[in-house]
Structure 1
Amino acid sequence: MSMTFDPYKLGTKDVTSAEDVLLTNPTALTELETYWRSLPRSRGVPARADLDPVAMGRQLEDSLILERVAPGVARIRVAGRNIGKLIGLEPRGLPLTTVMTPNSRATLSEYIERAFNTPSVVELPLKSPRAVGQPPLQGKLLLLPLRDEDGDVTRMLGILVMSGRRGMGGRRFEISDLSPPRVEALSNLRAVNGGRRPSLRVAAVDGDTQKAKDTPALRLVVSNP
């Protein structure tokens, strides 16, 4: 009798739950950046007000809206539900550096400042080291600048995607050396007005697929812009 190997069932006492396995869409970053580039832009940068959660689809679950509050410091104003599951904390109101290990926070702050100041698209390869009850994870963080209602670049659209097993507890990340970071200044972008925005999707990371389809994954933060 033939048997099918199930990589998530390694024995009767070792069954990986759907909550533990992160099945991220491998094209999520490309799709979100394509959507961002389709938005109308002023001097290369779209406006926060032009973001359409419906057009973003289930990318919302892994997405972030950030606000610059000081040099190198970006506060999480809006967060998809997968972010909280991944880091083991309610992310709203926290600085983005919270998702990093202590020795990587200064480096992330430098990239945050470049993203706002230049402004630039920033894409960082991340890893989460192995620890007790925590298998290693690989992923990426993408930061896409946005203008606020005054036209200043003080907002950021971000997405954090990981693959592998989350394991026990909240995870923290380091910048990986497996591939170089991408920093792309926006001065050469052409303005794009109108046009059909792409439909975006991301694989489910838990068993509540129907709820993910019916309920917006981003939650607004009560904060003055």
Structure 2
Amino acid sequence: MRLDQAAKPTENLQAALKEAAPEGVPASFTALWDYWLSIRKDAVCPSAADFDPMKIARLLPDVSVFERRSRHEVVYRLAGTAIGERMGHDPTGENVLELSAPERRSFLVDLFTEMTTRPVAAFVRYENIYASGRRATVQSLLLPLGLKSEETGNVAAPRILSIHTMGPAKAYAPAQAKTTVGSTVEEIAWIDIGAGTPAA
């Protein structure tokens, strides 16, 4: 999908998130956002083929790439080392929806569906319950990556480039086998990248 310059998509991340993150967004989020903007050229979102992890090497420990294979299957194609350390295992290849709290699963389904079909970017603040029992707030910036179909030439966005930060422990629950992603959702802010945002 070509970028319509008249749509005036968001370019200043701090301005876009001034209400969702009034204290400001982490510098790592701005760095990933700036890299994402630099590779999108004249498209609404960059091609996954143009994403070079080595260009953001210093950010990689907190970076993940999701692949949306179907409405109910969104797998980790890549998970940074810091993510694996926090979660207590490397989630690469796992379906993030199956790691989520059952009562929050529909939220994640809708989030990834919007991001990969509209497409649109998002900032989300939520709580994880880690395998260690630690409960902590996580902030994530999620940016779509396009994938060109050789048959049609159309661009969809079945992949999501994302970066995450974890806050201090809020409490401790009993240890569990695996991390629960998104036990609660505190905030979501859509970021218009040129194709609009979901209706409120």
TM-score, shorter chain, exceeding 0.5: yes
- How far, CA to CA, are the matches of 2:195 and 2:113 in structure 1? 19
The aligned residue for residue 102 of structure 1 is 102
Is 72-81 or 133-142 further displaced after alignment?
A: 133-142
* C-alpha deviation, 1:48, in angstroms: 1.1
Sort the Cα spacing of 1:152 and 1:69 in 2 relative to 1 into closer, same or farther, 3 A.
Answer: same
2:183 is the counterpart of 1:174: yes
Question: SS state of the match for residue 93, structure 1?
Answer: coil
* C-alpha deviation, 1:113, in angstroms: 0.5
1:185 to 184, 192, 200: 192
Letter in 1 for 2:29: L
Sort the Cα spacing of 1:101 and 1:188 in 2 relative to 1 into closer, same or farther, 3 A.
Answer: closer
* C-alpha deviation, 1:188, in angstroms: 5.8
Letter in 2 for 1:143: L
1:124–1:175 Cα contact (<8 Å) kept: no
Sort the Cα spacing of 1:121 and 1:98 in 2 relative to 1 into closer, same or farther, 3 A.
Answer: same
Cα deviation per residue 1:23-75 (whole Å; 9 max; x = unaligned)?
xx932222211211121335311011212222212211111111111025321
1:41–1:47 Cα contact (<8 Å) kept: no
Question: SS state of the match for residue 156, structure 2?
Answer: coil
Aligned CA RMSD, in angstroms, stands at: 2.8
2:125–2:140 Cα contact (<8 Å) kept: yes
The aligned residue for residue 163 of structure 2 is 159
- How far, CA to CA, are the matches of 1:127 and 1:60 in structure 2? 21
- What are the equivalent positions in structure 2 for 1:93-172 lying under 5 Å apart? 93-128=93-128, 134-150=133-149, 151-165=155-169, 170-172=178-180
The aligned residue for residue 216 of structure 1 is none
Largest Rg, 1 or 2: 1
1:74–1:95 Cα contact (<8 Å) kept: yes
Question: SS state of the match for residue 144, structure 1?
Answer: strand
Letter in 1 for 2:179: R
Task: Identify, as 1 or 2, the structure richer in strand.
Answer: 2
Letter in 2 for 1:181: I
The aligned residue for residue 88 of structure 1 is 88
Sort the Cα spacing of 1:55 and 1:128 in 2 relative to 1 into closer, same or farther, 3 A.
Answer: same
Cα deviation per residue 1:121-172 (whole Å; 9 max; x = unaligned)?
01111113599x6343112122111112433322111122212249766532
Sort the Cα spacing of 1:55 and 1:89 in 2 relative to 1 into closer, same or farther, 3 A.
Answer: same
- How far, CA to CA, are the matches of 1:102 and 1:71 in structure 2? 15
- Give the number of aligned pairs: 162
Letter in 1 for 2:159: R
Question: SS state of the match for residue 92, structure 1?
Answer: coil
Task: Identify, as 1 or 2, the structure richer in helix.
Answer: 2
Question: SS state of the match for residue 90, structure 1?
Answer: coil
Is 50-59 or 110-119 further displaced after alignment?
A: 50-59
Identical-residue share of aligned pairs (%): 23
Structure 2 gaps of 5+ residues are 1-24, 150-154
Letter in 1 for 2:45: V
- What are the equivalent positions in structure 2 for 1:49-64 lying under 5 Å apart? 49-64=49-64
Sort the Cα spacing of 1:99 and 1:161 in 2 relative to 1 into closer, same or farther, 3 A.
Answer: farther
